[in-house]
Structure 1
Amino acid sequence: MKKIGIVGIGGVGGYFGGLLAKKYEDSDQVQVYFMARGEHGEAIREKGLTVETTTGNFVAHPTLVSADPTELGPMDLLLICTKSYSLEQSLEQYSACITPNTVLLPLLNGVDSKERIKAVLPQNEVWDGCVYVVSRYLEPGLVKETGGIGRLIFGAADGTPEKLKQAETLFGDAGFKVLHPDNILSSIWEKFLFISSMSSTLVYFEETIGSVLSTPAHRQLLASLLEELKAVARAQHITLPEDISQRHLDMMARLPHDSITSMYSDFLNGNKTETESLTGYVVRLGQRLQVPVPTFDKVYAALRQKVKQ
């Protein structure tokens, strides 16, 4: 895997892509490409990408920064770090970077990314992936990570073992906290429980995670969302730890008091949000599986009134 492309240089793509670009800046074996445009792309081209983290700051210089797929050329591995609602558009935009041998690794919020990619590119190898990271795009050329989690989980039951192992080594050497579990689907759903419940709650109450957890009624709503989503997962025969809800609440409690999710950040900035992928998806899936999700129903109805779709 010589050519690694990063689509979407926001909080997730900027943090993990930045680590890759920093590690392999002088490598003859690995080249890292940023798919970025506008002021952000221009700033990275001129000065590199500054990444501020809980363990120290650094400046990453990728092999090339461009939004022109013909200039970028075919990739061996494509990390997709866009918003969920931009997935198909991104695949079309960078189709010239995708050959039948390109492996795609989506790191999006949601649980259906692989299915959606395979609908467009049925012949390609597509892995499942998710991340635990609190990271934000602050301004052109600058991404900031807080919280100190920075974990990437990926895998594929039908993936090529040699390619999976190679990627795990590349990621680990770049400084990722990387996990390659046997049951990647359970890991994807564990992350979905975390981000769906937290994002839905923060936007519903318009509060940070610290404020939610310190208010008993708000914390109880968050706990109810976790339990309802766990029931939906189990209706699909997804194996989850019995104490997964409490684990997630404990993880949220360890975050800085003012931590927010990207969905709440988008809401505050008046941008399009991932409400349909993170909240509406659960409501529709619950209906299809005949699993009651009354708290999600209430929260989704409220979010539809307040967010920009």
Structure 2
Amino acid sequence: MIKIAVAGIGGVGGYFGGRLARHYHTSDEVEVYFIARGENETAIRQHGLKVETPGSTFTAYPKLVTSNSSLIGEVDYLICSTKSYDLEQSITQLKPCIGKNTIILPLLNGIDSYERIKSIYPKNEVWEGCVYIVSRLTEPGLVTVTGENNALFFGSTNGTSARLDEALRIFTDAGINATLSQNIQQTIWEKYLFISTIATLTSYLDTSIGGILAKPENMELLYALLAEFKQVAKAKGIVFSENSLSAITDRMGKLPYETTSSMHTDYQKGKATEVDSLTGYIVKLGKQLNIPTPTYEKLYTELKNK
């Protein structure tokens, strides 16, 4: 039996974990476990996890939902979808799930999850991954997806090929739009280019993606952030295509006007945010690489003081 645990049943973990739990609910090959807390855990235990998408609605029932990872035991795959600021605490608490053969796949915002997990579990195989989806945990036990894009990319430069292929099959059989990337670093940086600039700007301006597109002065800020980001990435050996700017604005234009980033939503609710991972990390890298990032620095300073 292949055991999969999904830690963090929010917008990302809820959608992709929900797909897995729904498909493998009666499987004799794969068991899917949810690690959740508080009212979310209670709601899922009582009623399952409801996932609403533009095209369909389904309810998923994991093998077990719990906040106590020792009740699950060692798993084959641990999908980590917690907030980036919770990563170290969360991954340490998940130790009962992590055996020597457990593969850890982070699906977090940011670019440094691999290094942070490896520093705690140096002997485990840690993959890298990212997702494209607009989804929120709108109430305990309910994940709401807006927009049509819901893709998962994962890979590893030194991972076990048979396990990578196995994970791809498990994902795709569950109806997940999954891709095993042959250059996962490039894939993750391309996602980070989008989420870092958009999360920073929606939060700083307190506006939606449609609100950014609507005003020339907002677009000027966006282009300044993108230019600084690309210079930092170039110094790290990551080069983007010539049309990367138009690709981002095209993607923004296809989203509903009111769509915003999860970081902006957290600011609106007065919750902890991922500003250090999504904004501050580019400032930090810029300083390390001697690349000036004046726009990022200005917005990061103001966001930290919000």
- Displacement of 1:148 in angstroms is 1.1
Query: What is the aligned partner in structure 2 of residue 8 from structure 1?
Result: 8
2:139 corresponds to which letter in structure 1?
E
Return the offset for 1:181: 1.7
1:119-138 maps to which residues of 2 (within 5 A)?
Answer: 119-138=119-138
Letter in 1 for 2:207: E
Q: Which amino acid aligns with 2:52?
A: E
Q: How large is the RMSD of aligned CA atoms in angstroms?
A: 0.9
Task: Tell me how far apart the structure 1 counterparts of residues 53 and 38 of structure 2 sit (CA, whole Å).
Answer: 24
Give deviations 1:189-247, integer Å, cap 9, x for gaps: 00100100000000110001001111111012112211211111110111322222221
Structure 2: state its 5+ residue gaps.
none
Which aligned pairs between 1:1-309 and structure 2 lie closer than 5 A?
Answer: 2-306=2-306
CA distance in structure 2 between the partners assigned to 1:73 and 1:33 by the alignment: 10
The AA in structure 2 aligned to 1:149 is: N
SS in 2 for 1:82: coil
**Cα distance in 1 for residues equivalent to 2:154 and 2:136:** 21
1:51–1:143: 8 Å Cα contact kept in structure 2? yes
Q: Contact 1:227/1:245 (CA < 8 Å) preserved in 2?
A: no
- Residue by residue, what CA displacement relative to the aligned partner does 1:21-42 show, whole Å, maximum 9, x if unpaired? 1111110100000001211111
Question: In structure 2, what is the Cα distance between the partners aligned to 1:157 and 1:55?
Answer: 35
Residue 305 of structure 2 aligns to a residue in which SS?
A: helix
- CA displacement at 1:171 relative to structure 2: 0.7
Is the contact between residue 196 and residue 279 of structure 1 (CA under 8 Å) also seen in structure 2?
Answer: yes
Deviates more, 1:232-241 or 1:19-28: 232-241
TM-score (norm 1): 0.97
Give the structure-2-normalised TM-score. 0.98
SS state of the match for residue 16, structure 2? Answer: helix
- Give, in whole Å, the separation in 2 of the partners of 1:66 and 1:215: 46
- For 1:282 and 1:70, locate their aligned partners in 2 and report how far apart those are by CA, in whole Å: 37
Q: Secondary structure at the match of 1:34?
A: strand
Cα deviations by residue, 1:59-88 (Å, 9 ceiling, x for unpaired): 000110011122111110000000001111
CA contact (8 A) 2:92 2:120 kept: no
Instruction: Output the CA distance in 2 between the equivalents of 1:239 and 1:154.
Output: 19
AA aligned to 1:123 is K
The number of residue pairs the alignment matches comes to: 306
Shift of 1:54: 1.6
Matches of 2:170 and 2:247, distance apart in 1: 29
Could you tell me how far apart the structure 2 residues matched to 1:241 and 1:183 are? 15
Please tell me whether the aligned partners of residues 15 and 143 of structure 1 are also in contact (alpha carbons under 8 angstroms): yes
8 Å CA contact 2:9, 2:35 repeated in 1: yes
Secondary structure of the corresponding residue to residue 238 of structure 1: coil
Structure 1 stretches (4+) deviating beyond 6 angstroms? none
